[in-house]
Chain A
Amino acid sequence: METIQQLKPKDYKSDVPPIWCAGCGDYGVLASLTMAFSLNNVKPSDTVLVSGIGCSSRLPYFVTTFGMHTCHGRALPVATGIKLARPDLRVVVVGGDGDHFSIGGGHLPHAARKNIDLLLIVMDNSIYGLTKGQVAPTSRPGMVTTTTPYGSLDLPVNPVAYALVYGASFVAQSFSSNTKLTADLIGKALNHKGFAFINVISPCPTFNKVDTFEYYKPLLKNIDEIHPDKGDKVRALSLAMTMGKENGEVPIGLFYQEERPTYIEMIQEIKIKNKGTDHPDLERIMDILRP
């Protein structure tokens, strides 16, 4: 068997320098991703990174894998198409909370419940950075932004609970500066069979002066200590709904993991039942249309 020399994290970095601000949390996610790719022997040419629009969605340019930088909110459907058409490829979706909980918020439930075999990493900064500081779906109530000068009126989305109730089979949360944990979770997710979701809290030092590294640091809590049974969905949901930045503690780590058939496996069964072949007799299919 051919042995492939293990690539180092830097080997996964393209020669395009990131365009992020100094101190942006997304650097941590990029570092964690390349670290996890290296540790898990990911082959760049068989991997596709798919993103939508936003600061974090620029990430595919900075990595040596294939990539798609699609429209705002549409990364998940595009990634779903790639994976279903070519199950041999490894597909990772990256993007922000705006992409996945606002404009594209309708797609995550369906990728999750279909258990599409891909990994979604959301870089959650609770602000729209690319458009210079508007309220985001995970912004806290009352947050002052350029479009909410009198404070945000909206209840924030709870990313972990959202993914759990829609049936994601792997749900985790991390913090961008904790690259070791993030890389470890990405590695686990890459080896998970089915739809994996990791919400990485990734502060925006430029436009979000509230949800900062300093703010989060004392709140972060390793979930493993209080939640050892990763198959306990009710407990996972309960933790997701009761802990949070407003409640004084932010759990990070793996919330939930289950094994259930993936969409691709189920489609494969349908193909087998139908004696699916790459060299079909089209005349026989046309025979069905005889009057």
Chain B
Amino acid sequence: MGKDIVIRIGGEGGEGVISTGDMLAQAAARAGLEVLTFRTFPAEIKGGYAMYQLRISTEKILSQGDTFHVCVAFNGEAYEMNKDLLTPGTVLVYDSPGGDFQSEPIEGVIQYPVPMTKISKVDLGSLLSKNMVALGAVMQLFSFPVDSLKDLIKAKFKKKGEPVVEMNLRALEAGAEYVRSHLKKVDRFYVQPAQPREDRIMLSGNEAVGLGALVAGCRFFSCYPITPATDIANWLSRHLPKVNGVVVQAEDEIASLGQVIGASFAGVKAMTGTSGPGLDLMVELLGFASMAELPIVIADVQRGGPSTGLPTKSEQADLFLAAKGGHGDFPRIVLAAATIEDCFYLTIEAFNLAERYQIPVILLSDGALASRTEKIKRPDLSKIRIINREAYSGNGEYQRYAVTETGVSPVSIPGQAGGRYIATGLEHSETAAPKYSPDYHEKMTEKRFRKIAAIEDEFPEPECEGDEGGDLGIISWGLTQCAVKEAMRECADRGLRVRALYPKLVFPVPVKAIRRFASTVKKVLIPELNYQGQFAELVAAHAGVSAIRFNLYGGLPFTPAQIREKITEVIK
């Protein structure tokens, strides 16, 4: 068998699909395996189709994979959604007899009926235990570590009392026992044993952003709840008070960014987390922050748009907004995360850049990355560099917006007697007094843009892989990089001459790296999850490199197979 196993669990939202998946993922991670999850939620609280997919391997996992090996169907809808994806050699575990559907024989597909509903309702007397019965069956069928799962159940239900723990353990055992006594394993999938490694943490993209903020020194976070960004706030709400930080739920996104700007003016590192509709509302204050030269960080966890769009799905369609949104000319920096590690390290980088250049920095993530959990190498905090804004020394006549060679001027904070100034959205002089003369508007606009004129040289060079002189070069950004990376492995195996560039700084566009890269390949391909080819447009406009575009806009991330097929098609 292959070195990894992909299990997909589908059912009605609220039925325990997510918690079953979480348990399996945690159990595998505890047992020393690498884990990466992928999930889709319905936008509704109860009802609608929910799906949780976990990929388990003994080696580092790059993406959610192409498809699944095992499908666990809690109900008829899950079966209908996935039956066409069941290919020869794959496995279907489903609720039968006694479930709400009958499966049909599918050629080459191994089917294991497990009466999840019946066992929970009739034998255990509570339909609530259905997911535990399913968990027990899956555990038995694919050799999940029993002790890890039992420990997790005990920990999860401890607060609800011993009877609840017992009931869940009984349900787990009932599912396992049914498999032992009624089914014969004929598939070839099982979870490989591994050695637990101490230096690992497991977290979601949103949690990684929260952790990154905490490590970067963020001590003020204001937000307004919005899918799929809310978990950043949820995580920080629990942990920021431990470092004397403050989390506020504001009345709307405008207020969140307003508060963040106020906190930054007061000298505290501050951030907000939102999604597209929230970023729309923040744009006026984004311009203010850039004009007043206040460091702020915004995490935009992109979802399908426009308008309310697809709240629980993924898209990479906020790039124009992040890079260009707002009236007037003002600088900002946009970073894009592709992995859980990126969510952590780029959040720290976002704060460092914001502080260094006294500028707004937007970190783009997306719904799939936000909710995926993954086991990663525990960050070595001693190696992390933290940058703080250049402070006013307190000596001499203070000019808040002194025109300097780098464009960066030392900043005072309230409490510094000689550092008094009025932060303003009006065009202003060196001393922050309103000043609208043509020469000043030009001089100050240039000063603000000068701060990031050399940003590309000061930012780590984007990672590049594959041989020079390739037939094709792929430039990807955000989550799409994961699918490209995995596709690249197979290209190498098949001897295809393909190169790939993985920029994390997406705006200002790293034009030098892109031009250099483009000059080493015959054609350039830019795959992205949006209709307009937003990064391709920016690359064309700023770097003068025109690329073949590959756009998906259905709300789901690229799979490695989709990238591989496109590569083959383009190279041909």
Contacts and interface: CB of A to CB of B under 8 A. Distances in A.
Interface string B203-222: 10001000100110001101
A267 interface: yes
B258 A271 contact: no
A28 B261 CA distance: 30
A116 to B, nearest CB: 10
A88 B415 contact: yes
Interface in B1-47: 26, 29-30, 35
A84 interface: yes
A127 B265 CA distance: 31
Contact of B415 (A85, A89, A274): A89
Interface string B60-95: 000000000000000000000000000000000000
Contact of B241 (A50, A81, A106, A270): A270
Given A45-B417, A77-B262, A276 B241 contact: yes
A77 B414 contact: no
A279 to B, nearest CB: 9
For chain A, give the interface size range: 35 or more
A288 to B, nearest CB: 8
A129 B379 CA distance: 56
A137 interface: no
Interface string B351-384: 0000000000000000000000001001101000
A218 interface: no
A60 interface: yes
In this complex, which of A16, A47, A88, A274 has the most chain B Cβ atoms within 10 angstroms of its Cβ? A274
Interface string A262-284: 00000100110111111010110
Contact of A44 (B266, B284, B420, B434): B420
Contacts of A71: 258, 284-285, 288, 425
A240 interface: no
Contacts of A291: 26, 29-30, 35, 200-202, 375
Contacts of A82: 262-263, 265-266, 414
Contacts of A16: 433
A145 interface: no
Contacts of B378: 286
Contacts of A270: 241
A74 B254 contact: yes
Interface stretch (B104-112, B244-252, B442-450, B529-537): B244-252
A69 B268 CA distance: 19
A285 B262 contact: no
A118 to B, nearest CB: 10
B494 interface: no
A166 B268 CA distance: 29
B403 interface: no
B426 interface: yes
A40 interface: no
A285 B414 contact: no
A180 interface: no
B242 A285 contact: yes
A106 B252 contact: yes
B242 A61 contact: no
Nearest to B379: A286
A107 B255 CA distance: 7
Interface string A43-54: 011111010000
29 contacts: A16-B433, A45-B420, A48-B265, A61-B433, A61-B434, A65-B420, A66-B421, A67-B423, A68-B422, A69-B422, A70-B258, A70-B423, A71-B284, A74-B284, A77-B259, A79-B262, A80-B262, A81-B261, A81-B270, A82-B266, A84-B248, A106-B251, A271-B241, A276-B245, A282-B214, A285-B239, A286-B201, A286-B379, A291-B375
Interface of B: 26, 29-30, 35, 200-203, 207, 211, 214-215, 219-220, 222, 239, 241-246, 248, 250-252, 254-268, 270, 284-285, 288, 292, 375, 378-379, 381, 414-417, 419-426, 433-434
Given A80-B258, A273-B241, 18 more contacts: A67-B422, A68-B265, A74-B254, A74-B258, A74-B288, A81-B262, A81-B264, A84-B248, A86-B268, A88-B415, A107-B251, A276-B242, A276-B244, A289-B202, A291-B26, A291-B29, A291-B35, A291-B201
Cβ-closest 8 pairs across A and B: A81-B262, A77-B258, A81-B259, A291-B29, A85-B263, A77-B255, A67-B422, A85-B268
